[in-house]
Amino acid sequence: MTDSARHGDYLTHVIELAWAAREAGNRPFGAVLVDPEGLIVESGLNDAVVSGDVTGHSETNLVRAATRKLRGADLSGYTMYTSAEPCLMCAGAIYLSGIGRVVYALPASELGVIAGADSPVRTVPTDLAQALRDAPDAPEIIHHDMGEAGSSVHRGFWPGPR
């Protein structure tokens, strides 16, 4: 299986998790952590709305669960797949965990357009690669375009463009 096909399979799964988060009353984001052998070792959904915890992003929830489960493990060979480009807070958690690669479906810039100016989603105008540019041992960052599949979970959820 090619990297592109593998990325597409995992991203399809995290988009399904994003739909599950949305159906549970949360914001539509999901993530998984994949070990070097290709096994999903942990998953995370956004639970910020239901929990009332503004840090309850899918990526931070995933990092918390994975680092507890894999206590002390070297995560440099692991890959995080996430439905949308991680925010700056999540970038910090990813970096501190030592996860070696991040593959995301929807860029933050596109999410901002879908969500619209009146949206409660806050996007900082710095992409993930820029945020981690000067960090030693920063993870490899890959945008894998999933087309409509990557954006459809957000359509109708956010207020939308003016």
Q: Which residues of 67-86 are buried (b: 16+ CB within 10 A; e: fewer)?
A: beebeeeebeebbbbbbbbb
- Tell me the CB-side half-sphere exposure of residue 18, using CA atoms within 13 A: 27
Q: Which of 155, 140, 53, 63 is nearest to 106 (CA)?
A: 155
Catalytic one among 37, 59, 140, 148?
A: 59
59 a catalytic residue: yes
Q: List the catalytic residues.
A: 59
